[in-house]
Amino acid sequence: MGSRIRSVLLTAAVACAAISTAGAQQVQPGGDVYVVQQSRGAATVSLGGTVIPYKEVTLSAQLPGRVNFLAGKEGDSFEEGAKLVALETRELLAKRQAAVAQFANADAQLRSAGAQFSRELYYPRSKEAPGGMGMPNLFDQMFTRPMESFVGERSEPAARSVDIYTSHIGIQQAQNAIMQAQAEIQAIDAKLRDAESLAPFAGVITKKFIEVGDTVQPGQPLLEYADLTYLQIMVDVPARLRPGLNLGMMLRAQLDVGDQVVPVRLAQIYPMADAQRHTVKMKFDLPQGVSAPGMYVRVLIPDFTDPGQDSPVIPTTAIRYNGSLPGVYVVRDSGRPELRLIRVGEELTPGFTTVLSGLRSGERVLRDPGPGLTAGWAPPPVPGK
């Protein structure tokens, strides 16, 4: 029992000596002391958003078929115009060959009709010698002329006009057949282009929904493709905060990883608010290389509808955490530092933090307390505990 009492007394004596030693330290003149300043400004609202790519597309199937080519997997990069997905095209190629054959037949018919038209125009059958042994004359002698003698002579100008008109109709029919064949070839070529999905811009595959050998239908998603060079934050902002925001405004955002605060620029404000949630979608440009798509980010939006309040501002380096309790070393008039617990607010600018309670404007705090001073002090008991 006596040894336990001596141990407790020895521990208490050591603690008192440590406190008296730390309390006896005097603050050296210079830049170690910061005079607490008062800051007044509009209140800010922290809104959560999601990091999205600046450009993102979903490539979908345009026709049914089987996948026989897939360029890569998630994370693979490609240049603009690179082939990403290709479907089976043997059936389309066979149809194209048939359409080309139809085009060749129509072209031959057009040449034949043109020859017939030239013959009727320059060598009409009505002017051929009666005794000629050509096939038209022989036909006329055997059938046409006996009929003409029975019903009367035909009008030579009218007959010639009918022959020329008939030959011209043959030319038009052949031309229409050529146009039809060309249209079929163009339609098949369009389907052949749709059978391949090309990269619309330089980027990476962010998600794939198919594998080689899968059978797809029109409208089925194939890949998600994005340009990750530039990133943005998509935020649903309450409509009451919209009047205080303008394009190009610089704000601050806090990343979910490491609580890093970065500047962001308001890049886009959607023209209509959500009728159900009464929010307006906005996009903010992020600096390069600070985040990744899909991550959670908080954006600090100024609330100009709030009258605001005065808050003391201190350097962030002045804050020391004892467990989970933040505190600062306040310099007394005697020059001795005293640990005081505070409630911290948000970081206004890089390196400075607002204080919600525990400090007043004009008090002096240590800008960067040394480790020896911090180790010599123990946090005072929290009132009410």
In the chain, the percentage of residues whose pLDDT exceeds 90 is 41
Average pLDDT, the chain: 78
Once rounded to an integer, what is the mean pLDDT over residues 194-215? Answer: 94
- Comparing CA positions, the residue from 3, 56, 48 lying closest to residue 237 is 48
Encode 82-116: b = buried (16+ Cβ within 10 Å), e = exposed: eebbbbebeebeebbeebeebbeebeebbeebeeb
Contact 125, 141 (CB under 8 A): no
Q: Which residues contact 35 (CB under 8 A, 6 or more apart)?
A: 362, 363, 364
Q: How confident is the model at residue 286 (pLDDT cuts 50, 70, 90)?
A: very high
pLDDT at 43: 67
Once rounded to an integer, what is the mean pLDDT over residues 68-95? Answer: 93
User: Looking at per-residue confidence, does 94 or 21 come out higher?
Assistant: 94
**Number of neighbours of residue 12 by Cβ within 10 angstroms:** 10
User: Looking at per-residue confidence, does 296 or 350 come out higher?
Assistant: 296
Of 19-33, 120-134, 197-211, 281-295, give the lowest mean pLDDT range.
Answer: 19-33
Instruction: Give the class (CATH, top level) of 60-86+195-223.
Output: mainly beta
Q: DSSP for 149-201, please give it.
A: HHH-PPPHHHHHHHHHHHHHHHHHHHHHHHHHHHHHHHHHHHHHHHTEEE-SS
User: Residue 264 pLDDT more than 60?
Assistant: yes
The DSSP code for 127 is: G
Tokens encoding 8: 């407790």
List pLDDT tens digits, range 83-129.
999 999 999 999 999 999 999 998 888 888 888 777 777 766 555 44
In the chain, the percentage of residues whose pLDDT exceeds 70 is 74
In CATH, the architecture of 46-56+227-303 is Beta Barrel (2.40)
User: Is the C-alpha dihedral spanning 312, 313, 317, 323 positive or negative?
Assistant: positive
User: Residue 348 pLDDT more than 60?
Assistant: yes
List pLDDT tens digits, range 307-329.
556 678 888 888 888 777 888 99
**Number of neighbours of residue 224 by Cβ within 10 angstroms:** 17
Asked whether the whole model's pTM tops 0.85, one would answer no
List pLDDT tens digits, range 46-55.
888 999 999 9
**Residue 208: exposed, middle, or buried by beta-carbon count in 10 A (0-12, 13-18, 19+)?**
buried
Q: Where are the domains of the chain?
A: 25-40+309-376, 46-56+227-303, 60-86+195-223, 91-194
CA angle 43, 44, 49 (to 5 degrees): 165
Instruction: Give the class (CATH, top level) of 25-40+309-376.
Output: mainly beta
- C-alpha of 264 from chain center: 17
pLDDT at 21: 35
pLDDT at 268: 94
Rounded CA-CA distance 169/167 in Å is 5
